[in-house]
């Protein structure tokens, strides 16, 4: 489905089917999130953590659960973010 390079991303995409009678110009690609909680299973003990200040800023203590979100339709958005 996602035929870009096989770099793992939690952001998935698809191209909606197009009719010649659709009134709006095509949006192109539609995006959706598949956040890390869908992949982790029962969290194993001892996983890496953020520092307290970073944990608060990011919204989770657990690095494995962190999932930055930005508007994927804005130009230049949807790229990875530190």
Partner 1 sequence: MVKPLPKEYYTRLEEIQAADFVALELVLYLNTHPTDRQAIEQHNQFARHSRQLKQAFEVQFGPLQHGSPNPSQTVWTWGESPWPWQV
Partner 2 sequence: MWIYEKKLQYPVKVSTCNPTLAKYLMEQYGGADGELAAALRYMNQRYTIPDKVIGLLNDIATEEFAHLEMIATMIYKLTKDATPQQLRDAGLAEHYVSHDSALFYNNAAGVPFTAAYIQAKGDPIADLYEDIAAEEKARATYQWIIDLSDDPDLNDSLRFLREREVVHSQRFREAVEMLKEDQNRKKVF
Q: Which does 40 bind (CB under 5 to 8 A by kind): partner 1, partner 2, none?
A: partner 2
Q: Which does 46 bind (CB under 5 to 8 A by kind): partner 1, partner 2, none?
A: partner 1
Query: Considering the rule CB under 8 A, would residue 64 count as an interface residue with partner 1?
Result: no
The DSSP secondary structure of 3-69, one letter per residue, reads -S-S---SEEEE-----TT--SPP---EEEE--THHHH-SPPTT--B--HHHHHHHT-SBGGG----
Closest CB to partner 1 among residues 2, 37:
37
**Closest distance of CB 61 from partner 1, Å:** 4
Closest CB to partner 2 among residues 15, 47:
47
Structural contact between residues 55 and 47, judged by C-beta atoms closer than 8 angstroms: no
**Which residues here bind partner 1, judged by CB under 8 A?**
42-43, 45-46, 52-53, 55-56, 60-62
């Amino acid at each position: 489905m996602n035929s870009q390079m096989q770099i793992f991303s939690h952001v998935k995409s698809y191209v909606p089917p197009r009719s010649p009678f659709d009134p709006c110009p095509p949006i192109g690609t539609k995006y959706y999130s598949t956040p890390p909680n869908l992949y982790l299973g029962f969290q194993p003990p001892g996983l890496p953590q953020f520092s307290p200040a970073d944990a608060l800023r990011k919204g989770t203590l657990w690095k494995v659960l962190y999932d930055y979100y930005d508007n994927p339709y804005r130009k230049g958005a949807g790229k990875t973010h530190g």
